[in-house]
Structure formats: C-alpha cells, structure tokens
Amino acid sequence: MKIGVFGGTFDPVHNGHINAFAETYIGLELDQVIIVPTFTSPLKKQAGSSDSHRLNMLKLAVENYDFAEIDTFEIDQQEVTYTFDTLKYLREKYPDDDLYFIIGTDHFISFDKWKNADKLHELAKFTVLDRNDELYNVKPPFIKLNTNIVEVSSTLIRERVKTNTEVRHLMPEEVYGYIKEQRLYET
Ligand code: ATP
C-alpha cells in the first residue's frame, strides 16, 4: 500500500491542510493518508489551543474523508517528538507499505535542520507540495508534487478570530462551529 503521512500542529486545521492531503492522495495515487498532530508543550503555548481542542477539530475535519485517519502517537508521547521517531514508529506499524511524508515548501526549506535529516529519506519518501512556478529547487530524493495551494495558514485564522474578522470560509464548517462554541483564539 502507498500511505501518505501528514504531520502538523493543526491549530486550527484549515482548508489549506485538507487541500494538501487530498491533492496528494489523488496526485500520488495513495491508498490512505495518516494525519499526525504534534504535541505542543503547555509551557511554550502562547495564543494556541490545547492538544484536545486541536485533536477534536482535526477529527471533525477528517471524518468526512474515508481515506484519511488520525494517529495520536505524538500527542500520546506527551513530549515534543521528532519526525524521525514518528517515522520509525510508523515503519514498524506498517512494515510492508511505502510511506510518503507530505510537507509544504516552508518545511522543505528548513529540512536540513531536522533531526537525522540525512537518514529520514530511508524511512519515507518526502513529498513537497509546490506550485508550477519552479521557485524551489526540489530534487530527488524529494518528490515534487505540482498542485494548487489554498493560501491560508493557522496563524492567519488565529489573528483574524482575535480581531473578529471573518474566517468561516477558510475551514470546514464543523471546525468553524467548534471554534465559536469553545471561544478559541479570542484572546
Ligand atoms: P501556523 O500558521 O500555526 O504555523 P500552518 O497553517 O503552517 O500553521 P501547520 O499545522 O504548521 O499549519 O502545517 C502542517 C503542514 O501543512 C506543514 O507541512 C505545512 O507546510 C503544511 N501547510 C500549512 N498550510 C498549508 C497550505 N495552505 N497549503 C499547503 N500546505 C500547507
């Protein structure tokens, strides 16, 4: 099987994330996508929301996609986990499958700084979502996936909620409802 792996803070999950994993599913003809929310240290937390809120929002967003599922490995560790360790865990869980780790260009640029960057390619095929404009020099062993990008970030959503600016169109309706109900990101 070809399995996509998509890690992130998802604070909150938004249409850019959903577009990213769904387009990769189509573009690479994947069988499944596993979404791995990061643990965030309560000490470092600023305007963000708790692990349980982030997970609840992710569940609401992902339940409509039968090819996608959430793996809480990183949150369960209760400490900051490196992609290297997460991929070792997934390699053991799915020994016979090909793993495709999905990243945006922001992470591609800083990839050299990741723990065991050189060894990461032995664990998964890193797939960089990029537009057609050839701005980034994505070369093997990275896979470049030309796709449309939905220009939205969690930072933008958090800032807009704080200033009471419209954000409804940037995420699934269920996630928007959850943010309003729980009054997330207001202060
Ligand atoms: P923040 O604004 O809080 O930094 P973010 O919107 O960048 O958050 P993350 O949870 O940090 O979201 O991102 C998880 C993964 O999704 C990363 O690989 C990131 O590159 C990718 N990503 C984030 N936003 C988009 C987008 N609009 N289109 C495609 N990929 C995205």
Would you say 160 and 186 are in contact if contact means Cβ atoms under 8 Å apart?
no
Which protein residue's CA is at the shortest distance from atom 28 of ligand 1? 16
The answer, yes or no, to whether any atom of ligand 1 lies below 6 A from the CB of 10, is yes
Q: How far apart are the first and last CA of the chain?
A: 44
- pLDDT value at residue 43: 64
CATH number at residue 103: 3.40.50.620
**Which domain does 34 fall in, by range?**
2-152
Considering its fold, how many domains does the chain have in total?
1
Q: Quick check: is 166 in a domain?
A: no
Whether 118 is covered by a domain: the verdict is: yes
Could you list the pLDDT tens digit for every one of the 187 residues in the chain?
999 999 999 999 999 999 999 999 999 999 999 999 999 876 666 668 999 999 999 999 999 999 999 999 999 999 889 999 999 999 999 999 999 999 998 899 999 999 999 999 999 999 999 876 677 889 999 999 999 999 999 999 999 999 999 999 999 999 999 999 999 999 8
Centre of ligand 1 to C-alpha 20, Å, is 9
Q: Specify if 63 maps to a domain.
A: yes
In a domain, 147, yes or no: yes
Query: Residue 103 domain-assigned?
Result: yes
Which among 154, 155, 157, 160 is the best mutation to test ligand 1's pocket, defined by most ligand atoms within 8 Å of the CB? Answer: 154
If you take atom 9 of ligand 1, which residue's CA is the nearest one? 8
